[in-house]
Amino acid sequence: MPKVKDICRHVRTKNAGPFWVTVDFFYKDFDTYKEYKDSEDLGPDLFARLFGTDPTSIKRIPVDSLHMVKVSYVRPNAQAWKGERDMHSGQSFARLLDIDVRPSTSGGAV
């Protein structure tokens, strides 16, 4: 099964204001994008598990013209809280790279 790093040419994370983190998945090409963009393996549960976010708050916007999907989630603690380890959430992408991804249609828990 391919991993995120196999189907995306670039993945990045960044704070979007102090309360949100935004993830950009840039797929390798349009066909890969079409095949995987709605994969349930990249659904809200993944972000809840990896980043401790509330899965109901997740925003997910695919952009056909750029072969990319933007996912944004609420930080469990606002930027700069006393336990902060990554002020800009710029390293969070690394936790996504080795996630196994099945194509959009082939299931996974909804």
Nearest-approach distance from CB 30 to other proteins, in angstroms = 14
Question: Using CA of residue 83, residue 55, residue 103, residue 68, what is the dihedral sign?
Answer: negative
Confirm or reject binding of residue 80 to other proteins (CB under 8 A).
Answer: yes
Among 3, 78, 97, 107, indicate the residue that binds other proteins (CB under 8 A): 78
Measured between alpha carbons, how far apart are the two ends of the chain, in Å? 19
CB 47 within 8 A of CB 71: yes
Confirm or reject binding of residue 70 to other proteins (CB under 8 A).
Answer: yes
Nearest-approach distance from CB 44 to other proteins, in angstroms = 15
Interaction pattern, residues 4-33, with other proteins; x per rule: CB under 8 A? ----------xxxxxxx-x-x---------
Q: Could you write out the DSSP letters of every residue in 57-86?
A: G-EEEEEGGGTEEEEEEE-SS-TT-TT-S-
Judging by DSSP bridges, how do beta strands 8-15 and 20-27 pair with one another?
antiparallel
Residues that bind other proteins (CB under 8 A): 14-20, 22, 24, 50, 54, 57, 59, 61, 63, 65-66, 68, 70, 72, 74, 78-83, 85-88, 91-92, 94-95
